[in-house]
């Protein structure tokens, strides 16, 4: 499993930045999912907030998905920011400003952000992902809209006799 480690010790100044690149191999390590490939840059900005750490994750890039309509590959641009609070005091409820709180061990020297990055990118994918209008494979769309196999004679239903009784 990929580990995308953010050091928690040696914080110089008010914040420190760490950058990661996320590819399709990263998503394949988590098992089956909608992402076929990826080229996403992640910038992690860690800053102190008292005894806790604020972690801002900025994502920019492209995920490659399979179109739900034509099953061809499609690009899905990603541009989002996620904010969490890394807490050493064991609390797990949301912070006052609505950020998710992730508990840390008191002696933790680094934070593995792999699961958090996977979750953020997976949750930004819409439930139904399709090409923009006109972007799907025309051959597939023709098959979906003009399939001569759809014009079959209705078969005798056991309920057709009931319809005859009512008329």
Report whether pLDDT(94) > 80. no
Q: pLDDT by residue (tens digit) across 43-58?
A: 999 998 887 899 999 9
Max CA-CA distance within the chain? 86
What are the DSSP calls for 18-72, one per residue? EEEEEEHHHHHHT-S-SEEEEEEEEEEEEEEETTEEEEEEEEEEEEEEE-TTT--
Contact 74, 60 (CB under 8 A): no
Read off the pLDDT of residues 99-119 as tens digits, 9 standing for 90 and up: 888 888 878 889 999 999 999
Q: How many helices (H) and strands (E) does the chain have?
A: 4, 7
0.75 exceeded by pTM: yes
Confidence of residue 97 (pLDDT cuts 50, 70, 90): confident
**pLDDT at residue 92 is higher than 70:** no
- SS3 letters for 81-98? EEEEEEECCCCCCCCCCC
Phi, psi of 159 (to 5 degrees): -90, -5
Average pLDDT, the chain: 85
For residue 166, list its beta bridge partners. none
Query: What per-residue confidence (pLDDT) applies to 65?
Result: 96
Q: What's the rounded Cα separation, in Å, for the pair 53 and 45?
A: 10
Q: Within 10 A of 16 (CB to CB), how many other CB atoms are there?
A: 16
Q: Is 157 helix (H, G, I), strand (E, B) or coil?
A: coil
Query: What pLDDT is attached to residue 167?
Result: 65
Q: Encode pLDDT of 130-155 as tens digits.
A: 988 888 888 887 877 765 555 555 56
């Amino acid at each position: 499993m990929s580990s995308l480690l953010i050091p928690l010790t040696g914080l110089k100044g008010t914040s420190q930045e760490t950058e990661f690149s996320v590819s399709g191999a990263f998503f394949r390590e988590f098992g089956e999912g909608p992402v076929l490939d990826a080229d996403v840059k992640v910038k992690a900005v860690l800053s102190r907030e008292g005894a806790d750490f604020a972690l801002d994750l900025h994502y920019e890039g492209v995920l490659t998905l399979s179109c739900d309509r034509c099953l061809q590959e499609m690009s899905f641009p990603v541009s989002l920011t996620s904010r969490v609070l890394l807490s050493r005091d064991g609390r797990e409820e949301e912070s006052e400003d609505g950020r998710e709180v992730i508990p840390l061990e008191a002696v933790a020297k680094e934070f593995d952000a792999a699961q958090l990055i996977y979750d953020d990118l997976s949750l930004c994918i819409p439930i139904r992902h399709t090409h923009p209008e006109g972007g799907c494979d025309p051959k597939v769309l023709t098959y979906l809209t003009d399939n001569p196999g759809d014009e079959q004679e209705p078969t005798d239903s056991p309920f057709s006799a009931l319809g005859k009784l009512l008329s």
